[in-house]
Amino acid sequence: MDEMFETVVENIKELLHEKKWAKLKDILEDMNEQDIAELFMELEERELTFIYRLLPKELAAEVFVNMEPEYQEALIRAFSDSELREVLDELYVDDAVDIIEEMPATLVKRILQHTDPEMRKSINEILRYPEDSAGSIMTTEYVDLKRNMTVSDAFTRIRRTGVDKETIYTCYVTDSKRKLKGVVTAKDLLLSDENDLIRDIMESNVISVSTVEDKEVVADIFQKYDFLALPVVDGEERLVGIVTVDDAIDVLQEEATEDIEKMAAITPTDKPYLKMGAVETWKKRFPWLLILMVSATFTGKIIQHFESALQAYVILTSFIPMLMDTGGNCGGQASVTIIRGLSLGDIEFKDIFKVIWKEFRVALLCGITLAVANFAKMMIIDRVNITVAAVVCMTLVCTIIVAKIIGCTLPIFAKAIKLDPAVMASPFITTIVDALSLLVYFTIAGFTLKL
């Protein structure tokens, strides 16, 4: 796949240099817009602005939408006013908003100057919604129908306005005050008699979201109900836009990425890794490292406290990393499983006792398995004193139980007090479990070895 792509890029560059425009045009017109966009982003800026003009109008706009902001910027700078207007005319409102959000202020001004007044109004409206809200990801281009239309009226309307709509497969029925009254799918329309009234075939029980709803909630609704589009209403239940499934997929992916980043103690960002500078990346990472580092010094304090015990039994020191790592890993397994379960809706607060009971049993099983393995290893390979082996293995079982219980409860409590459970993942759990495992270790060692 990758090699094939390289070949196509080489091929296109050659045709460009040989000035074979007709051939180039033929090849491009047969390609998917997403593939063309990827191809174009491999070209020099000079080549890009040139080859872009070979595309037919509609395809050109589709390719434009699929390019990274830096290439869009280069193209806009190269466009004449009429070229710019042509591209903007073909864009959907939500795509235009996405582009504008990434452009420098001077270009934004130029873009808004060349969009038609109605679209400019819609763009400005969407730009006003809070970041991460349903309003900020919706489009205002939907098909709206009235209750007293017939199916054939509806088709006429779709044929007349549909070309500019983001989807025509879900149509929305509104009253004279623009209040949302029902939905009709294109499938319903196609399978109904052409004289049927919309009011009779529409589904009046509509699931909708408010403009200020969190976009993650929107994405979860898509996943739960398998919708292709979801209506967005304002405070007075008036329809203001729709979110389509392709945007919901992007949100679901972003959400998963954010969760993963938080679990690794990184402040989430929506920028791709390679687009972020080192300083920006550093800013997302060091605050957490600092907090965790300071917390980890408590673990050091515990060791310092038991200094004399350690000097008597230096061998005990060498098992500290194994105990700490295993505790961290066990806690991490439990917390990450619970965090994902919470975020997918599989686990709720009311399940907390079920979860703890289950993790306790899993911990007991894991603890015994690891302790047996470790005891065998310590006796056969390390050939340590049997009492030392017993101390380490007892600590192991206790640490694993403590780690799993803490790992499963902290995310649930975090969620209950409206904190993000994803923060309660391995790094934090590890820091807590480290300290506890050492306390357990020295306590058991103190009793058993009479330190």
In contact, 208 and 183? CB cutoff 8 Å: no
Q: How many helices (H) and strands (E) does the chain have?
A: 22, 6
CB of 402 within 8 A of CB of 440? yes
- Non-local (6+) Cβ contacts of 439 within 8 A are 302
Q: Which of 182, 328, 411, 421 binds a second copy (CB under 8 A)?
A: 328
| Both structure tokens of 22 | 């007709």
d(CA 195, CA 185): 16
* Closest distance to a second copy from the beta carbon of 256 (Å): 4
* Candidate residues 101, 116, 175, 207; the one interacting with a second copy per rule CB under 8 A: 207
CA gap 338, 351 in Å, rounded: 11
User: For a second copy, which stretch binds (CB under 8 A), given 15-23, 93-101, 110-118, 302-310?
Assistant: 302-310
Rounded to whole angstroms, the Cα distance separating 287 from 266 reads 9
User: Minimum distance between the CB of residue 121 and a second copy, rounded to whole angstroms?
Assistant: 25
Tokens of 163: 């070309």
246-275 residues in contact with a second copy (CB under 8 A) are 246, 248-250, 252-253, 256-257, 259-261, 263-266, 272-274
**What single DSSP character describes residue 339?**
H
- The residue among 368 and 449 lying less far from a second copy, judged by its C-beta, is 368
Quote the CA–CA distance of 45 and 114 in Å, as a whole number: 23
Among 101, 116, 128, 293, binds a second copy (CB under 8 A): 293
Mark the segment that binds a second copy (CB under 8 A) among 49-57, 77-85, 330-338, 443-451. Answer: 330-338
Query: Would you count residue 30 as binding a second copy (CB under 8 A)?
Result: yes
Residue 438 lies near a second copy (rule: CB under 8 A):
yes
Looking at the Cβ atoms of 133 and 329, the one nearer to a second copy is 329
- Residues 183, 154 contacting (CB under 8 angstroms): no
Site for a second copy in 125-164 (CB under 8 A): 155, 158-159, 162-163
12 binds a second copy (CB under 8 A): no
Angle at 242 between CA 238 and CA 245, to 5 degrees: 155
Interacting residue with a second copy among 74, 292, 356, 405 (CB under 8 A): 292
Name 198's Cβ contacts closer than 8 Å, sequence gap at least 6: 145, 146, 147, 148, 149, 150, 151, 153, 154, 173, 182, 184
23 binds a second copy (CB under 8 A): no
User: Scanning residues 362 to 401, which ones bind a second copy (CB under 8 A)?
Assistant: 362, 365-366, 369-370, 373-374, 377
DSSP code of residue 327: H
Selected from 270, 297, 353, 383, the binder of a second copy by CB under 8 A is 297
348 binds a second copy (CB under 8 A): yes
DSSP state of 171: E
The residue range among 86-94, 96-104, 232-240, 283-291 that interacts with a second copy, by the rule CB under 8 A, is: 283-291
Q: Is 285 in the site for a second copy (CB under 8 A)?
A: yes
Q: Which two tokens stand for residue 329?
A: 């890993």
Binder of a second copy out of 358, 385, 390, 420 (CB under 8 A): 358
| Interface segment toward a second copy; rule CB under 8 A; list 25-33, 52-60, 90-98, 100-108 | 25-33
Shortest gap between Cβ of 247 and a second copy (angstroms)?
9
Judge whether 151 and 189 are in contact, CB under 8 Å. Answer: yes
Instruction: Indicate whether 194 belongs to the interface with a second copy (CB under 8 A).
Output: no
Give the shortest CB-82-to-a second copy separation in angstroms: 26
Q: By CB under 8 A, which span of 12-20, 89-97, 129-137, 344-352 interacts with a second copy?
A: 344-352
For a second copy, the binding residue among 24, 183, 209, 245 (CB under 8 A) is 245
Binding status of residue 9 toward a second copy by CB under 8 A: no
Q: Are 155 and 145 in contact (CB under 8 A)?
A: no
Residue 288 tokens, joined: 């957490």
Residue type, 60: A
Q: Which residue number, 260 or 390, has a Cβ lying nearer to a second copy?
A: 260
Bridge partners (DSSP) of residue 183 are 172, 203
Span 89-128, contacts to a second copy by CB under 8 A: none
* Under rule CB under 8 A, residue 354 binds a second copy: yes
Question: Is 319 near a second copy (CB under 8 A)?
Answer: yes
Residue with smaller CB distance to a second copy, 76 or 396? 396
Q: How far is CA 373 from CA 197, 238, 386, in A?
A: 73, 65, 14
The count of residues interacting with a second copy (CB under 8 A) is 111
Which letter, b or e, does each residue of 268-290 get, where b requires 16 or more Cβ atoms within 10 Å of its Cβ?
ebeeeeeeeeeeeeeebeeebee
